[in-house]
Structure 1
Amino acid sequence: MADDDTASLQNNPHDFGKLLHGCNHYRRRCKIRAPCCNQIFFCRHCHNESTSGLTNPKERHEIVRHDVKQVICAICNTEQQVAQISKEQFHCNDCGICRVGGGTKFFHCQKCGSCYDVTLRDNHACVENSTKNHCPICYEFLFDSIKGATIMNCGHTMHMDCYKEMISQNQYRCPICSKSVCRMSRTWQRLEHEIEATAMPEEYRYEIPILCNDCNNTSKASFHIIGHKCNHCKSYNTRRIGTVTNSLERQI
């Protein structure tokens, strides 16, 4: 298989050295010359990471991506003016920046203020300028991140990789608003069965006030060590908002 891949790259000159060059941010065959300091880096992120660590605060700076005029080929080291754009790279006029992944695979949501995968068109909850924030997991700024992002049911956005890692850790609440990030009906049914099969001792059979994280309504629920069900939307994504102090309420 490796030999076949090598032969394919050799047969197509446009693929020569493809995926063999680049940095942790991009796999590409050219570098940029930063007009601000005249240094060479694989990308603007590499430049910003390097200059942000300078010991002299006055020398710290970030590159203005639109000012980059010169690129250096990573294959032959030829320096030339910025020219041909990769087919997988596209410019979004509404975002004001270039993105990777192919223009036909993304759309710009005017309310959210960013580009998303076309599968999310008319299929997501909008939150104004939702990507003009940091990922709640890794805290990288989302708007100009090169990592793929996803929108949760509540409308908040995070990196897709961070979302998958969160789900793998059995965490199903949005780190920002605590709403359920996906459909939880099967999980609620399982909890229902577990609660029915686990009777609480007599001294713990009382009601407590709860707040539902999903519908934001308050109600009362029978205390149980496993969970408390919202009387409005039937969600178990709830939190206890008070204690029972009256002995009469304990007997109800």
Structure 2
Amino acid sequence: MESSGENNGRVEFGRMGYGCKHYRRRCKIRAPCCNEIFPCRHCHNESTNDRHEICRHDVQRVICVICDTEQPVAQVCSNCGVNMGQYFCGVCKFYDDDIEKRQYHCNDCGICRVGGKENFFHCQKCGSCYSIDLRDKHACVENSMRHHCSICYEYLFDSLKETTVLNCGHTMHSHCLHEMIKHDKYSCPICSKSVIDMSRTWRKLDEEIEATLMPENYRHKKVWILCNDCNDTTEVFFHVIGRKCGHCQSYNTRVVAPPVLPR
């Protein structure tokens, strides 16, 4: 009789030793769309010239990389008994040996997420899982994650890259946000609201404006501005350096009526 220890050794054989750049796993998938074999659906999506993609739920057959047996989707190989993925989701047809990612399946998202289920909640309006730190602390935008990143244009909902929820509720890749800020771009590409605390910058602009007098003919000219941060419309004195919102003190504004020029 085979001992449980021997059986467990067989199940765990090759763990973290196989896979691709996306996942460590002991199986490959047969793509239902083209009938070709790939290490994972991302490998398929990156290799196809016509840009067609696999729907994860449509995968029906996998190939054990230990014994090369093709079989219906299951966690344990029907031939050699190896565990083809330490984490396995029968809904997503997903395998991964790297369980330190703390994978979990979200029924509302309909896909697997990483980071530990206890650390996330599903926002029904935004249509995705968010960190519990954002519960009741983020601006809801309907289906905000079911869009493309406004910088790199990769679809965000099932992206493998870390995603950030901006103060305005819109979302983008964290890396794209950091790159945007590095290039001195501080407003959301979608709604133009400030993406970080700009109070220090606003104080510097206050000082610059105070030290920079406008020509006499312009000192009393006014313009109507729309504040991108609070959506308030006010009439303010025109200045070439910036026009400050009288409601929230932001300089993230745009002129909606030009100044009356001197004759």
| Equivalence map 1:68-107=2 (5 Å) | 68-72=59-63, 76=66, 78-79=68-69, 81-83=73-75, 84=85, 85=87, 86=96, 87=99, 88-107=102-121
Q: CA deviation at 1:113?
A: 0.6
Q: Is the 8 A contact 2:237 2:243 kept in 1?
A: yes
User: How many percent of aligned residue pairs carry the same amino acid?
Assistant: 61
Q: Deviation digits for residues 16-64 of structure 1, max 9, x if unmatched?
A: 437xx413xx13234322133221222223323433x24xxxxx74322
Paired residue for 1:178? 192
> 1: distance between equivalents of 2:190 and 2:133?
24
**Deviation for aligned residue 1:82:** 3.2
Listed one character per residue, the Cα deviations across residues 203-233 of structure 1 (whole Å, up to 9, x for unaligned) are: 3322222111111121122222221101121
Matched letter for residue 166 of structure 1: M
Partner of 1:207: 222
Determine if the alignment matches structure 1 residue 159 to structure 2 residue 173.
yes
Q: Which residue of 2 aligns with 1:4?
A: none
Aligned AA for 2:57? H
Q: Given the superposition, is the C-alpha separation of residues 195 and 106 from structure 1 closer, same or farther in structure 2, using an over 3 Å criterion?
A: same
Structure 1 residues 138 and 104: CA distance shift in structure 2, 3 A: same
Are residue 232 (structure 1) and residue 247 (structure 2) matched?
Answer: yes
Q: For residues 128-167 of structure 1, what are the structure 2 equivalents within 5 Å?
A: 128-167=142-181
* Cα distance between partner residues in 2 of 1:13 and 1:160: 36
TM-score where L is the length of structure 2: 0.76
State the one-letter code of the partner of 1:210: I
In structure 2, how many angstroms separate the alpha carbons of the residues matched to 1:155 and 1:47? Answer: 32
**Equivalent residue letter for 1:22:** C
In the TM superposition, what is the alpha-carbon distance from 1:191 to its structure 2 partner?
1.2
Which deviates the most, 109-118 or 172-181?
109-118
* Whole-Å separation in 1 of the counterparts to 2:239 and 2:245: 13
- Please report how far the alpha carbon of residue 105 of structure 1 lies from its aligned counterpart in structure 2 after TM superposition: 3.0
Which ranges of structure 2 fall in alignment gaps of 5 or more residues? 1-11, 76-84, 88-95
Structure number with the higher helix fraction is 1
For 1:43, which of 36, 40, 43 is the aligned residue? 40
Q: Report runs of 4+ in structure 1 exceeding 3 Å deviation.
A: 12-16, 69-74, 76-82
The TM-score, its normalising length taken from structure 1, stands at: 0.79
| Residue ranges of structure 1 left out of the alignment (5+ in a row) | 1-11, 55-59
Deviations 1:3-26 (A, max 9, x none): xxxxxxxxx9775437xx413xx1
Between the aligned partners of 1:89 and 1:82, the Cα distance in structure 2 is 17
Cα offset, 1:130, TM superposition: 0.7
Corresponding residue for residue 90 of structure 2: none
Over the aligned positions, Cα root-mean-square deviation in angstroms equals 2.5
Question: Is 1:28 equivalent to 2:27 in the alignment?
Answer: no
Contact 1:132–1:141, Cα closer than 8 Å, also in 2: yes
